[in-house]
Amino acid sequence: MGYHMSLSIRLTINGLKREIALDDPRVTLLDLLRERLHLTGTKKGCDRGQCGACTVLVDGRRINSCLSLAASLDGAEITTIEGLADGEDLHPVQAAFIAHDGFQCGYCTPGQIMSAVGLISEGNAGDDPERIRELMSGNICRCGAYQGITEAVLEAQKDLAERNRRDAA
């Protein structure tokens, strides 16, 4: 296969350092995760940066992994939905999505949750639902679970702020 220059990159994925031989320079981060590493929790809804289903954290920032070439990420630290829970202990955002029925089919959910995690950790969420609706609008949910999503993000942000205060004290 002629395009097969062997290109090797290093990534830390969900805390695990990996040396990855890329078989093709065209591979996006999304297709690397899903089709090569079989981390299929991250979803493909459009492959065009229009739906947010593929959202992951790269060096703590939210990105659409379908728009990012894997080859350009050498050295990056990546968190996917699989890396969020601590063993069987769900991340507060995950737990809040269940409690508030923030999903139906679940296909947009990994992306919604990663966006919410990014939003909260950037200190952007706040406690105004209008603001959360606006900032979560890069993630489409065709099932229309938006009310639950907004409630879940509000609660998780409150919960995490509480924890931070306790940790600081």
Partner 1 sequence: MPLETTSPLPQHRRHGSSAGQPLTRRDGVLKVTGRATYAADNHPDGMLYAVTAVSSIARGRVTALDVEAAKAHPGVVEVLTPANRPPLAHDPDEKMPPFGFRVEVLQDDTVRYVNQPIAIVIAETPEAATEGAALLNPQYEVEPARTGRESGERFDPEVIGIGAPARTAHGDIEAGFAAAVRVTEADYVTPPQYHNAMEPHAVVAQWDGDRVTLDMPNQALALSCASHAAYFGIPAENVLIRSPFLGGGFGSKAILNGPQILAILAARMLDRPVKLALTRAQMYGPVGHRGRTWQKLRLGMDEEGRLTALHHQALCTTSSFDEFLEPAANASLPLYASPAILAEHEGLRLDVGTPGPMRAPGLASGSAALEVAMDEAAEACGMDPLDFRLANYAETEPTTGKPFSSKALRECYAEGAKRFGWSGRPHEPRTMRDESGFLVGWGMGTAVFHCPHFPAEARATLRADGTALVETAGADMGQGAWTALAQIAAEALGLDPDQVELNSGISSLPDGGIAGGSGHTASAGLALHNAGEDAIARLAELATTDPASPLFGAGNIGVVARAGRLHRRDDENRSESYAEILARAGRSDVVGTAKAARDPAVASAHAMYSHGAVFAEVKVDPDLGQIRVARLVGAFAAGRVINPRLVRSQYFGGMIWGASFALHEEAIADRRTGRIMNADLAEYHVPVNADVPSLDAILIPEDDPYVNPIGVKGVGEIGITGTVGAIANAVWHATGVRVRRFPVRVEDLIISREFA
The residue ranges that bind partner 1 (CB under 8 A) are: 1-4, 23-24, 26-27, 31, 34-35, 38-48, 50-51, 53, 80-82, 84-85, 90, 94-95, 97-99, 101, 103-110, 113, 129-130, 132-134, 136-151, 154
Taking the least distance from each CB to ligand FES, the nearer of 41 and 126 is 41
| Residue 56 host element (H or E) | strand 55-58
Q: Report how far residue 139's alpha carbon sits from residue 66's, in angstroms, rounded to the nearest whole number.
A: 13
21 bridge partner residues: 8
Partner from partner 1, ligand FES, none contacting 66, C-beta within 5 to 8 A by type: ligand FES
* Strand ranges of the sheet holding 61-64, from the earlier edge strand across to the other edge: 16-22, 7-13, 77-79, 55-58, 61-64
Residue 27 neighbours by CB distance under 10 Å: 18
Taking the least distance from each CB to ligand FES, the nearer of 21 and 105 is 105
Taking the least distance from each CB to partner 1, the nearer of 76 and 145 is 145
Which residues contact residue 93 at a Cβ distance below 8 angstroms, ignoring those fewer than 6 apart? 84, 113, 116, 117, 120, 152, 153, 156
Q: Which stretch binds ligand FES (CB under 6 A): 3-11, 33-41, 106-114, 117-125?
A: 106-114
Which phi and psi (to 5°) does residue 10 adopt? -110, 130
CA angle 155, 159, 162 (to 5 degrees): 140
Taking the least distance from each CB to partner 1, the nearer of 130 and 167 is 130
From the CB of 48, what's the least distance to partner 1, in Å? 6
Is 52 a binding residue for ligand FES by CB under 6 A? The answer is: yes
Using CB under 6 A, list all residues that contact ligand FES. 44-47, 49-54, 64, 66, 103-109, 141-143, 145
